[in-house]
Each structure stands twice: as C-alpha cells, then as structure tokens.
Structure 1
Amino acid sequence: DPNRNVDENANANNAVKNNNNEEPSDKHITEYLKKIKNSLSTEWSPCSVTCGNGIQVRIKPGSAGKSKNELDYENDIEKKICKM
C-alpha cells in the first residue's frame, strides 16, 4: 500500500485494530489527533490503526504557521482513510 507510513514503530505502543472495515468515527479521529498532537506536521501521520480502516492526518500546508493550539479541526487538518 503506497499510503503506508514507514515509521510504524512510532505507533507500536498505540496499536489499535479496526476489524469491522468501517470508516473511522469522528471520536476515533479526535482521540488520534489528541494522541499525536505534538508530532503533527504537514507530513502525513502514521495510520491510526494496525489493522483495518484507520485515518492519517496532517496540517494543511497553508496552516503550517499556526501554533498547535490554534489549529482548527475542520479547517486546518487534512484527513484521509488508510487501510492496513
């Protein structure tokens, strides 16, 4: 899968499985964003799950100058589904 992030070890301790093949819920996305907030950048994050459908997030390039506390979930964060 070309969207797979090579830095999977960073998420090994936070392994989450979504075996239902459902779209990640808003709650799942919000929890993941809280967990990785300090490492959030304009690069795509690792997938939020180790199995099933997860989410990858990044700061939109136009919002890169904002502090982490100023980021708005709807306007400043890009999200995409990742499948593991």
Structure 2
Amino acid sequence: MPIDVIALEKAIKRAIPVTHLEIVDQSSGCGDSYAIVLVSESFQGKSTLARHRMVNDLLKDQIAQMHAFSQKTYTPEQYEKLQAQG
C-alpha cells in the first residue's frame, strides 16, 4: 500500500517539534519514493547519523513500504545559514 504525504507529515509532527518540513514524492504520485527536508530543535547536538537514525526509527513502518527514502536534517540555525547562502 502506498504511503501518502499526509501520513508522513502526521507521523513526523506527532513525534518531534518541527520548525520546517518539506516532503517530496519523487515517484510521480505512487508513494514509493520520498525525499524530506526536516528542521527541528531536537537535532541540536546530534550528529547527522544520529539524526537520520532518529528519523528512520520514527518512520520505520512507512519506510519499509517504500522503494526509496532520503532525508536532510538540520537544526534551525543550520537551516537559516543554508537559506542565507541562497
């Protein structure tokens, strides 16, 4: 069964405080491949690997049903700097 954007968004927002969230269905609407950009204060002090493990654990049931899943995780400060760079 395909995963939809709304289900992913709800699962993420239920578990962690979200400052910014982008979810892109990269499978032309069939729900098999998603890329996310997630900004949260809960990533403060965590390595990229720890952040990704946190998200993977949070979405393990959904990810198991996908063909591909990619993520970029940032603290609010990191995301602001990234946006400023243009």
Name the structure where helix makes up a greater proportion of residues: 2
TM-score, length-scaled by structure 2? 0.33
TM-score (norm 1): 0.34
